[in-house]
């Protein structure tokens, strides 16, 4: 699933209209219909007592059949499984439009009529929705949706943020149609608007054309909608949100559901915007995904389907019946000090659990006796150093150990030491295999002008958390978090590395200028050692022959999935430790 900026979305709109000849009004009609269907589904969900996301998913099979793709994560085993299967049919609510009520077999043979189930709502009379209409195309989408809601028997009142006569283009056409249908309308500031009397609010104030903090009537309507306590469904993005960065301009809509149109907007994956969107549903409006591919849209959501089809990852992780430990590669981990030995141990154990054949853990010599037997599957290699710490002189031994290994991971629990810049440079320039750089090794890199180091034939994967990223990019952490996708794309391209920017919705960016945004994981994973586990997983996958982007993306995906599984086993997210994630792999 592609993830776009407002600018990219406008270009795709333009190409659909100009190259394919599909009129803008047709796209708006599709958008309005999709929004109305999702509101109806939401009404059903609420009438059923609300509840879990699973209940929300079941609240309307027909709209799924029409192409809804929710931000839902399947596990790798479910990769590509269609969510549409069996969606159309007696689904607890979908029979409202069917002719005849006698059950199977009573209809005349060869004659079957079914109604527009997705646009039909039992007990619609109990609903009254306010539709907040901005003067751009987002407002036009809302007006088109309002007509469908009215057809479904739902009472609607339009609330214009600006004088209806100020709408232009397709939005003006929608305004005329709504007026011709006699939809009740109020203009904010001129007419009284009773938020208390409605059952829900459609936010069609501002979309991808929004700039800066909402002004005037827009700001007042947003504040009133939030203050009403009524559920809000947002058209495309919650009004007030920056569609690209997820920055939330005050005031901004707190939505229960966001019906995102055509392609996922970057701002819906980046915080704090991601938290204000509620359940995100992406609905097709007739803009072909092929256009996004041809135009080189760089960002995608990391789904099992993307892993399988775009990245060509074997998500089933098949093992060869003839395989042996030599088949699955050998990882060298250079990590750990006396006070942080656990980081090296976690990374090494995670590499094994990721499926590689062998792992050698290189560590300061003095540390070795203490960790013997901690993980009997590991091989240990004393690398020298002093007092259980690394030293510049250990580079030669790490280089020697790396020869014949399929990948080297360096950094977890490494600490800083005299000459560490030259130490890392020797590894960077000397290791003839992929290199995964994490933790303290990233800080060493940040203090080095590594652009002047000899270029490598084999890939480098950097796995910074936002603080490490800030040091690498010479920004503040807040600046890193302001637009994680944009920064990751730029940094990876400029430095020729595969970048894994960790945090909620980890971003994987490639030197070729592509980015993948992960949505597996759990807030309970914010605990020491979790990053070391990820480093080990990525190294373990590289050793098995995955290329840099495959290993980084699949590693991040599996790591998040294992975190979710570990939280379920633990029952309390706060109790999760990094070791639990390894066990859940």
Ligand X SMILES: NC(=O)C1=CN([C@@H]2O[C@H](COP(=O)(O)OP(=O)(O)OC[C@H]3O[C@@H](n4cnc5c(N)ncnc54)[C@H](OP(=O)(O)O)[C@@H]3O)[C@@H](O)[C@H]2O)[C@@H](O)CC1
Q: Return residues touching ligand X (CB under 6 A).
A: 13, 24, 27-28, 31, 134-139, 141, 206-215, 218, 235-236, 261, 285
28 binds, among K ion, ligand X, none (CB under 5 to 8 A by kind): ligand X
Contacted by 234, from ligand X, K ion, none: CB < 5 to 8 Å by type: K ion
Q: Does the annotation list 211 as a binding residue? A: yes
CA distances from 392 to 248, 353, 397, 403, 416 (A): 47, 31, 10, 19, 10
Distances (CA, A) of 160 to 132, 135, 533: 6, 8, 52
Shortest distance, position 188 Cβ to ligand X, whole Å: 12
3-state secondary structure of 318: coil
Rounded Cα gap, residues 175 and 137, in angstroms: 11
248 is in an annotated binding site: no
Q: Please tell me whether 504 is known to bind a ligand.
A: yes
Residue 148 CB, nearest distance to ligand X (Å)? 14
* C-alpha angle 141-213-201 in degrees, rounded to nearest 5: 40
The nearest distance, CB 5 to K ion, in angstroms, is: 16
Closest separation between CB of residue 159 and ligand X, Å?
15
Q: Is 439 assigned a ligand-binding role in the annotation?
A: no
CB 184 within 8 A of CB 215: no
**Comparison of 268 and 395: residue with beta carbon closer to K ion:** 268
Compute the distance between CA of residue 504 and CA of residue 492 in angstroms, rounded to an integer.
Answer: 19
CB of 462 to ligand X, least distance (A): 34
Distance CA 491, CA 502 (A): 14
Beta carbon nearer to ligand X, 160 or 516: 160
Residue 497 partner contact from K ion, ligand X, none using kind-dependent CB cut-offs of 5 to 8 Å: none
Is the CB of 170 or the CB of 580 nearer to ligand X?
170
Alpha-carbon distance values, 258 to 238, 261, 319, 435 (Å): 7, 9, 41, 40
Burial of 397 (0-12, 13-18, 19+ CB in 10 A): middle
Could you say which of 16, 234, 341, 510 contacts K ion (CB under 5 A)?
234
51 is in an annotated binding site: no
Applying CB under 5 A, the span of 110-118, 199-207, 287-295, 576-584 interacting with K ion comes to: 199-207
| SS3 of residue 220 by DSSP | helix
Question: How many angstroms separate the CA atoms of 289 and 150, rounded?
Answer: 31
Classify each residue of 176-194 as buried b or exposed e, where b means 16 or more C-beta atoms within 10 Å of its C-beta.
ebbeeeebebebbeeeebe
Q: Does 306 bind K ion (CB under 5 A)?
A: no
Residue 210, annotated as binding a ligand: yes
Collapsing DSSP to helix, strand or coil, 307 comes out as helix
Q: Measure the CA–CA gap between 447 and 445, rounded to whole angstroms.
A: 5
134 is in an annotated binding site: no
> Is 192 strand, coil or helix?
coil
To the question of whether residue 275 is assigned a binding role by annotation, the answer is no
Is 2 assigned to a binding site? no
Q: Is 494 exposed, middle or buried (0-12, 13-18, 19+ CB in 10 A)?
A: exposed
Is there a binding annotation on residue 531?
yes
The option from ligand X, K ion, none interacting with 209 (CB < 5 to 8 A, set by class) reads ligand X
Q: Which residue, 185 or 358, has its beta carbon nearer to ligand X? A: 185
503 near 272, Cβ under 8 Å?
Answer: no
Residue 203 as a binder of K ion (CB under 5 A): the answer is: yes
Q: Which does 413 bind (CB under 5 to 8 A by kind): ligand X, K ion, none?
A: none
505 known member of a binding site: yes
Task: Please state the closest distance from residue 172 (CB atom) to ligand X, in A.
Answer: 12
CB 207 within 8 A of CB 136: yes
79 is in an annotated binding site: no
- Annotated binding-site residue? 465: yes
Q: Report the residue from 178, 235, 274, 407 that binds K ion according to the rule CB under 5 A.
A: 235
**Tokens at 317, concatenated:** 């992780």
Using alpha carbons only, give the angle 210, 211, 216 rounded to the nearest 5 degrees: 85
Q: Pick from ligand X, K ion, none: which does 357 bind, CB < 5 to 8 A by kind?
A: none
Q: Between residues 138 and 341, which has the closer beta carbon with respect to ligand X?
A: 138
Q: How is residue 260 written in tokens?
A: 């995102």
Least distance CB 15 / ligand X (angstroms) = 11
Largest CA distance in the chain: 88
What does 108-153 look like in DSSP terms, one character per residue?
PTT------GGG--TTGGG-EEEEEE-SSHHHHHHHHHHHHHHHTT
Nearer to ligand X, 4 or 585 (CB): 4
What's the closest the beta carbon of residue 274 comes to ligand X, in angstroms?
Answer: 17
Nearer to ligand X, 27 or 395 (CB): 27
Binding part of the chain for K ion, among 100-108, 239-247, 430-438, 483-491 by CB under 5 A, reads 239-247
- Looking at residue 306, the DSSP 8-state letter turns out to be I
Place of tokens 């093992």: 319
Q: What's phi and psi for 509, nearest 5 deg?
A: -120, 145
242 contacts K ion (rule: CB under 5 A): no
Q: By C-beta, is 30 or 544 nearer to ligand X?
A: 30
Binding residue positions for K(+): 138, 203, 239
Binding residue positions for (6S)-NADPHX: 137-141, 207-213, 218, 236, 343, 413, 465, 532
Q: Which residues are at the interface with K ion (CB under 5 A)? A: 203, 234-235, 239
Binding residue positions: 137-141, 203, 207-213, 218, 236, 239, 343, 413, 465, 502-506, 531-532
């Amino acid at each position: 699933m592609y993830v776009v900026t407002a600018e990219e979305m406008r270009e795709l709109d333009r190409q659909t209209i100009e190259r394919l000849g599909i009129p803008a009004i047709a796209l708006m009609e599709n958008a309005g219909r999709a929004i109305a269907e999702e509101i109806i589904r939401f009404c059903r969900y609420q009438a059923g007592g609300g509840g879990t996301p699973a209940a929300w998913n079941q609240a309307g099979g027909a709209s799924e059949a029409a192409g809804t793709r929710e931000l839902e994560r399947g596990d790798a085993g479910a990769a590509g499984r269609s969510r549409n299967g069996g969606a159309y049919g007696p689904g607890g609510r979908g029979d409202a439009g069917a002719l005849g009520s006698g059950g199977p077999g009573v209809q005349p043979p060869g004659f079957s009529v079914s109604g527009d189930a997705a646009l039909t709502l039992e007990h619609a009379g109990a609903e009254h929705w306010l539709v907040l209409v901005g003067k751009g195309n987002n407002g036009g989408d809302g007006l088109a949706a309002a007509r469908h809601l009215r057809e479904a028997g739902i009472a609607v009142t339009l609330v214009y943020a600006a004088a209806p006569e100020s709408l232009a283009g397709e939005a003006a056409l929608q305004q005329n149609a709504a007026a011709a249908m006699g939809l009740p309308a109020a203009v904010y500031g001129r007419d009284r608007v009773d938020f208390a009397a409605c059952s829900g609010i459609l936010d069609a104030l501002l979309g991808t054309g929004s700039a800066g903090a909402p002004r005037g009537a827009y700001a007042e309507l947003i504040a009133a909608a939030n203050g009403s306590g009524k559920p809000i469904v947002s058209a495309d993005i919650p009004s007030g949100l920056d569609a690209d960065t997820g920055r939330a301009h005050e005031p901004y809509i707190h939505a229960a559901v966001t019906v995102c149109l055509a392609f996922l907007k970057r701002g819906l994956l980046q915080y704090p915007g991601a938290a204000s969107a509620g359940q995100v549903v992406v609905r097709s409006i007739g803009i072909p995904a092929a256009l996004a591919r041809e135009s080189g849209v760089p960002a995608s959501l990391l789904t099992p389907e993307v892993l399988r089809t775009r990245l060509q990852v074997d998500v089933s992780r098949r093992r060869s019946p003839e395989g042996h430990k030599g088949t699955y590669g050998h990882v060298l981990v250079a990590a750990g000090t006396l006070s942080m030995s656990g980081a090296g141990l976690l990374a090494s154990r995670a590499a094994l659990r990721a499926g590689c054949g062998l792992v050698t853990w290189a560590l300061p010599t003095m540390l070795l006796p203490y960790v013997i037997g901690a993980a009997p599957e590991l091989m240990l290699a004393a690398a020298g150093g002093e007092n259980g710490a690394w030293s510049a002189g250990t580079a030669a031994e790490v280089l020697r150990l790396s020869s014949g290994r399929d990948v080297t991971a360096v950094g977890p629990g490494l600490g800083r030491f005299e000459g560490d810049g030259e130490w890392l440079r020797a590894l960077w320039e000397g290791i003839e295999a992929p290199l995964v750089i994490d933790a303290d090794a990233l800080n060493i890199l940040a203090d080095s002008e590594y652009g002047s180091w000899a270029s490598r034939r084999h890939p480098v994967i950097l796995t910074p958390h936002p603080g490490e990223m800030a040091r690498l990019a010479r920004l503040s952490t807040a600046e890193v978090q302001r637009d994680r996708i944009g920064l990751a794309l730029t940094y990876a391209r400029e430095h020729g590395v595969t970048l894994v920017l960790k945090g909620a919705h980890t971003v994987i960016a490639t030197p070729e200028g592509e980015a993948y945004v992960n949505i597996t994981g759990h807030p309970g994973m914010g605990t020491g050692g979790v990053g070391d586990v990820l480093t080990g997983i990525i190294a373990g996958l590289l050793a098995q022959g995955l290329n840099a982007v495959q290993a980084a993306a699949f590693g991040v995906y599996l790591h998040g999935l294992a975190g979710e599984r570990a939280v379920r086993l633990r029952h309390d997210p706060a109790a999760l430790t990094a070791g639990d994630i390894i066990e859940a792999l």
